[in-house]
Amino acid sequence: MAKKQFKAESKRLLDLMIHSIYTQKEIFLRELISNASDASDKSCYNALCSGSVPDRERYEIRLTPNREQRTLTIADRGVGMNKEELEKNLGTIAESGSFQFKNDVEEKEGVDIIGQFGVGFYSAFMVADEVTVVSRKEGEEAAWRWNSKGSDGYTITQTEKEEPGTEILLHIKENTETENYDEFLDQYRISDLVKKYSDFIKYPITMEMTKSRKKEDSEDYEQYTEKEVLNSRVPLWKKSKKELSEEDYKAFYHAQRYGYDDPVKTIHTNVEGSLTYTALMYIPGAVPYDFYTKDFKKGLALYSNGVMIMEKCADLLPDYFGFVQGLVDSADLSLNISRELLQQDHQLKAISQNLTKTIKKELLSLCEKDWETYGKFFDAFGRTLKYGLYSDWGMNRETLQDLILFHSSKDDAYTTLKEYLDRMPEDQKYIYYGTGESMAKIRSMPAAEGVLAKGYELLFFTEDVDEFAVKMLQSYGEKEFKNITDSDLGFEAEAPSEEYADLMKKIKEALGDRVADVKASTRLVSHPACLSTRGAISIEMEKVLSAGPDAQKAKAEKVLEINTGHPLFPRLEAADEEQLRLLAEILFNQALLIEGLPIEDPVAYANAVWKLLDEQKS
């Protein structure tokens, strides 16, 4: 019997499959089961068209592993194929979804695409060295046997088959040094694969499972077989919301291993229209242990009509919502995913944009309706949101600015920016914030005094990212953010006195380039001196940046402010040149210490203090 050759492009794909080094060979089972399910759909449809009501249970998809013969059979009761169809469908891939895939592989060597998109029937050759298809088309008597050992071609012969439908018989490859193929003959492994990829196929996927039990009246065990349905069939997310309780959602969250905690929010949406999809998403209640490491993989599972096509589709979520767990099921994708990769990208993008909006909306509503839970959520993932503000040049400000919380001097509790704004007295020009390790430290900063004394509220920035995030935001509700150490606070209680200009100049000379300016302060109440800054870089930013590669460039422009009302001030006024140099040195270095900045020359500072103590003595 003459062997027929595969069409050229089919042969190339076949070669790729046969020699695949792809680690996820297991997806062949998903592909074959999906084909069986499609064929059953078509048969159902035909039945409906001819006026009968199809019985779903009839469309069983049977899996039969045989260890001795190294075979695995996937049998369905679907429409089947006649000779021409076998020829057309399995002899060439030009018409099937795999065609587009082939082009893609050649362009990008992206063999991992196999795991993400359907590659159909040919994936069988990743695990089998011989494939036999026996098929009988519904409404016809003849059955046909298609057989191929790979890229050298295939044969089609007539045969007999009792019922319409298709049986795919895989002869599983022998193990090699590096690859284990035996696993595809193992009933538990097969059962796991069905659960993983095909759990929500609507037809029963069955297998005769070999089990053992104790014999009656004896200590011996015996083996017996029992047919099991491997898939749970109805996807939770396809049920209507009304049918589902919070417990159902929670159980699913845990079954999918999204987290060990309970989610703080479940989002179940059904979208119909130009884009049709169902999404089931969860906001976790606790941070996954690897969340802030590079090991964490963000993304949602992607399903097409109940069949999983990707475990973690990162493109569905922006990084700042990377904590969201769940899945998206879209029938739209099944049409495009294997056929038009480009178009598929476009669809994914549109879905992702929609999901981002939905997540934002739900978080806002949580924030409004359940402040306590939102606070808990923010404790866990607030940092991610703030990084989101900072990244992409502040592009996501619209999405994120109302989701951000800061602790406020009002009561040390969280506040939204909107609440802060609503409480602002009319004369307040800026949104004030202080940066530091803790709320207590910021509160005790000399620079905080003036702002608090004015009765203005202060936001506490205790994380590195905070100030960078608001720098991107620039303003909120037309009010700019202002670091309390900025030399211009927007309220000068009284104009800085000219009276001291001379003295300030002398102190500036004593300190040289280390300060940009020295001025009589209008903000200090009880402290003798403090540092403020001019320009874009604050002291806190200098600290963060000095740990990075641009350390030298990233210096804050420091202004030493001196409290002319302080009891020690007259000593400055009375000091001679030598003493003034000494006092300036001490004031400046102490101001550095208070800000948590290192002293450049600790020995000189210590000497200055000792000298002062020595003078005191006499």
Given the rule CB under 6 A, which residues bind ligand ADP? Answer: 35-36, 39, 76, 78-81, 89, 96-98, 118, 120-122, 166, 338
Is 282 in contact with 325 (CB distance < 8 Å)?
yes
In whole angstroms, how close is the CB of 274 to ligand ADP at the nearest point? Answer: 24
Question: Locate tokens 């969250």: which residue?
Answer: 253
Of 123 and 487, the one with the shorter C-beta distance to ligand ADP is 123
Of 84 and 573, the one with the shorter C-beta distance to ligand ADP is 84
Of 36 and 207, the one with the shorter C-beta distance to ligand ADP is 36
How far, in Å, CA of 346 to CA of 566, rounded? 66
What six digits make up the tokens of 593?
Answer: 């210490």
In whole angstroms, how close is the CB of 304 to ligand ADP at the nearest point? Answer: 11
Using alpha carbons only, what angle is made at residue 407 by residues 403 and 412, rounded to the nearest 5 degrees?
145
Of 97 and 263, the one with the shorter C-beta distance to ligand ADP is 97
Question: Locate tokens 């297991």: which residue?
Answer: 26
In whole angstroms, how close is the CB of 38 to ligand ADP at the nearest point? Answer: 7
Listed as own residue / partner, the contacts of 157-161 with beta carbons closer than 8 Å and 24 or more positions apart are 157/1, 158/83, 159/134, 161/134, 161/135, 161/136
Of 80 and 284, the one with the shorter C-beta distance to ligand ADP is 80
> Is the dihedral angle over the CA atoms 156, 157, 158, 160 positive or is it negative?
negative
In whole angstroms, how close is the CB of 80 to ligand ADP at the nearest point? Answer: 6
How far, in Å, CA of 406 to CA of 578, rounded? 46
Listed as own residue / partner, the contacts of 510-515 with beta carbons closer than 8 Å and 24 or more positions apart are 510/580, 510/581, 510/584, 510/585, 511/560, 511/584, 511/585, 511/588, 514/558, 514/588, 514/600, 515/558, 515/559, 515/560, 515/588
In whole angstroms, how close is the CB of 74 to ligand ADP at the nearest point? Answer: 8
Of 78 and 284, the one with the shorter C-beta distance to ligand ADP is 78
Of 71 and 462, the one with the shorter C-beta distance to ligand ADP is 71
In whole angstroms, how close is the CB of 197 to ligand ADP at the nearest point? Answer: 15
For residue 552, count other CB atoms closer than 10 A to its CB. 8
Of 121 and 377, the one with the shorter C-beta distance to ligand ADP is 121
In whole angstroms, how close is the CB of 89 to ligand ADP at the nearest point? Answer: 3
Residues paired with residue 66 on neighbouring β-strands, in sequence order? 71
Find all residues with CB under 8 Å of 184, minimum gap 6, and list them.
26, 29, 65, 72, 127, 170, 172, 190
In whole angstroms, how close is the CB of 95 to ligand ADP at the nearest point? Answer: 8
Question: Locate tokens 């270095």: which residue?
Answer: 589
How far, in Å, CA of 302 to CA of 309, rounded? 6
Of 96 and 416, the one with the shorter C-beta distance to ligand ADP is 96
Burial of 18 (0-12, 13-18, 19+ CB in 10 A): middle
In whole angstroms, how close is the CB of 32 to ligand ADP at the nearest point? Answer: 7
CA distances 516 to 280, 482, 507, 511, 587, Å, are: 56, 19, 12, 10, 15
Residue 266, H or E segment: strand 265-271
Of 343 and 358, the one with the shorter C-beta distance to ligand ADP is 343
DSSP-based three-state secondary structure for 567: coil
Is 384 in contact with 460 (CB distance < 8 Å)?
no
Of 137 and 173, the one with the shorter C-beta distance to ligand ADP is 137
In whole angstroms, how close is the CB of 183 to ligand ADP at the nearest point? Answer: 22
Residues paired with residue 158 on neighbouring β-strands, in sequence order? 144
Measuring CA to CA, which residue among 56, 301, 383, 28 is closest to residue 202? Answer: 56
In whole angstroms, how close is the CB of 17 to ligand ADP at the nearest point? Answer: 11
Residue 552, H or E segment: none
In whole angstroms, how close is the CB of 23 to ligand ADP at the nearest point? Answer: 21
HSE toward the beta carbon, residue 449, CA cutoff 13 A: 17
CB-closest chain residue to ligand ADP: 120
Of 33 and 537, the one with the shorter C-beta distance to ligand ADP is 33
Q: Where are the alpha helices (DSSP H) in 494-538?
A: 501-511
In whole angstroms, how close is the CB of 145 to ligand ADP at the nearest point? Answer: 14
Of 97 and 450, the one with the shorter C-beta distance to ligand ADP is 97
How far, in Å, CA of 316 to CA of 348, rounded? 7
